[in-house]
Every structure is written in structure tokens, then in C-alpha cells.
């Protein structure tokens, strides 16, 4: 039985609507909240959507309130769908003990290790359950692109590489490029997937590319003042090397003096929205 959406709030924005919804997720076995920006065009026709995956500790609210994306999305006739970053309210042991594992840190994978495998299946949620739900109940076409930031950038890359037929285009801001070889990823993958590192490869963009996964092109922005570069969390050079070896087109833009914050995202989100709109319009 299809879950029904319950509207939590609605705000007029640039002639369209920013709406938050709650629903029960059978995939995650809990109540979930997500946000959608519907441009003015959605009042007269179905519109394509950009899916935005947020980073560690975020909810749907961070991007919608800080990125400054609504005005351009309104102009382009593009919706934005922003899921949460993990299941909520499951109260698993240790779920809230750290910022980079458990609550707010679902890493957009399907956990296989108990007790996480009962709820932490964010990959299935954002690629299967939630798209089917919103495309059935909201004025959206089945055409979609995907983007994200940090942990969400990792999620966007992995979701697109594993589903090139599902997402028309993909981009990322400061993504966790090689999670099986960085502190955040090793902690998350060990906890959610166990110690078999071979199984980690299906959730690592660099490993997926090395294994033959392909998309038409990748657009990635990275600030050179990002404090997570120095401690090896992001590793854009690993993504560049993997793409070069695979001859996969990558536009990796290094932005001088920009850090990891939403000031960085807000500065370049228009470029990404126009990039995705161009692809989506070409495939209509």
C-alpha cells in the first residue's frame, strides 16, 4: 500500500512553494520528513526535479534555507527534492553517540550489519521508494538529476553511477570521493557493512568507476580552503585519477579560498542548477 504524504508546512518562495512532508517509509521502517521546492510551472504542468543529498548532521532544512536555490529553480521550471540524511526515531544503541555515524549520517547505502540493516537503507529510500512516492503524488515527471554536498556528494555520485538510467545528470560539492579510504567512510562502512572491504566497493565512487560504472559526465566543485581536504576526508585527486584511467569526463573545478560551508554552495549552486536543467531539457 502506497504511503500517503502529510504536509508539515508550506511557504511561498519566488512564486512557487517550499513544502515539507511527512510519511511512513516501509524501507526504513520509520516516519520520515523531506522537503520539495515546486516552481511556479508546477501549478500548470509536471516538472523535472533535482534531487539534493545533504551532508553529515544535516536535515532537509539546511539546503532549502541556506543554498539560495529557489529563485533559479523557479526560473528554470525545476523542482528540488531534499530527503533527510538518515532514518529518524529508531533509537538504536549508539545511534546518537557521534556526528559521523548513525543519526544524520546514513551515507546513502544499504546497511547489511545488525542492527543497522533493519532501518539504515537510505540508498533504497532515495533511489526507489521516495522517487516513486513523490512522482505519484506531486506534480513531477520521472526525469531527474542528482547532486549533493560532502557525504551527500558521495551519495549523489554513487546513486548516479549505480543508476545511469535513473538520473539524467550528476554533480557534487566537495564530495567524499573515496570513502573506503578515508576516516569518515571507514567508520561508517565498518559499522553499517562489516569488515569485508570488498563489499565496500559498491558504495565508493572511485571503486565503482574503476569497476566499470559509467555516467556521461561528472561536475564537481571543490573549495581549496576546505578544512576537510588536509585530513584526507574528501580526496578529489582520487576521483580525478579514477576518471582519467576510465576516460570518464570529469569537470573538477577548484574554487580558490572557498571552504566547506553553505557559503560555498550558495556561490555556485546556480551553475549546477543550469547544468542540470540543460541536460533535463535536452532529454524531454
Residues classed as catalytic: 150, 226, 260
Query: Are the beta carbons of 189 and 179 closer than 8 angstroms?
Result: yes
Q: Which residues contact 119 (CB under 8 A, 6 or more apart)?
A: 28, 29, 30, 87, 90, 92, 111
Write out the H or E segment, with its range, that includes residue 72. Answer: helix 70-76
Could you tell me how far CA 34 lies from the centroid of its own chain? 12
CA distance 276 to 284: 12
C-alpha cell recorded at residue 264: 560555498
Ranges of beta strands (E only) in 58-187 are 79-82, 140-148, 171-173
SS3 for 257? coil
SS3 for 23? strand
User: Which residues are bridge partners to 7 per DSSP?
Assistant: 21
Integer CA distances (angstroms), 186 to 94, 233, 251, 278, in order: 17, 10, 27, 36
Encode 63-76: b = buried (16+ Cβ within 10 Å), e = exposed: bbeebebbebbbbb
Amino acid at each position: 500500500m502506497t504511503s500517503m504524504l502529510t504536509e508539515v508546512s508550506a511557504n511561498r518562495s519566488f512564486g512557487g512553494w517550499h513544502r515539507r512532508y511527512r510519511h511512513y517509509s516501509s524501507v526504513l521502517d520509520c516516519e520520515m520528513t523531506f522537503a520539495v521546492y515546486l516552481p511556479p510551472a508546477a501549478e500548470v504542468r509536471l516538472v523535472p526535479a533535482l534531487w539534493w543529498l545533504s551532508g553529515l548532521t544535516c536535515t532537509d532544512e539546511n539546503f532549502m534555507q541556506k543554498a539560495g536555490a529557489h529563485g533559479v529553480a523557479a526560473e528554470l521550471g525545476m523542482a528540488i527534492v531534499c530527503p533527510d540524511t538518515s532514518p529518524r526515531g529508531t533509537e538504536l544503541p549508539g545511534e546518537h553517540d557521534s556526528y559521523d555515524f548513525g543519526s544524520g549520517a546514513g551515507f546513502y547505502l544499504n546497511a547489511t550489519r545488525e542492527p543497522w540493516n533493519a532501518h539504515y537503507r537510505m540508498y533504497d529510500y532515495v533511489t526507489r521508494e521516495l522517487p516513486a512516492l513523490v512522482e505519484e503524488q506531486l506534480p513531477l515527471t520521472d526525469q531527474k538529476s542528482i547532486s549533493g554536498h560532502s557525504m551527500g556528494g558521495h551519495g549523489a555520485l554513487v546513486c548516479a553511477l549505480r543508476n545511469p538510467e535513473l538520473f539524467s545528470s550528476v554533480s557534487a560539492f566537495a564530495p567524499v570521493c573515496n570513502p573506503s579510504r578515508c576516516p569518515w567512510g571507514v567508520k561508517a562502512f565498518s559499522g553499517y557493512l562489516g569488515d569485508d572491504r570488498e563489499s565496500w566497493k559498491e558504495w565508493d565512487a572511485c571503486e565503482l568507476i574503476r569497476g566499470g560504472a559509467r555516467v556521461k559526465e561528472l561536475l564537481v566543485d571543490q573549495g581549496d580552503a576546505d578544512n576537510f581536504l588536509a585530513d584526507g576526508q574528501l580526496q578529489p585527486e582520487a576521483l580525478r585519477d579514477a576518471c582519467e584511467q576510465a576516460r570518464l569526463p570529469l569537470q573538477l573545478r577548484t574554487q580558490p579560498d572557498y571552504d566547506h560551508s553553505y557559503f560555498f554552495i550558495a556561490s555556485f549552486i546556480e551553475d549546477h542548477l543550469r547544468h542540470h536543467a540543460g541536460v533535463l531539457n535536452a532529454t524531454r
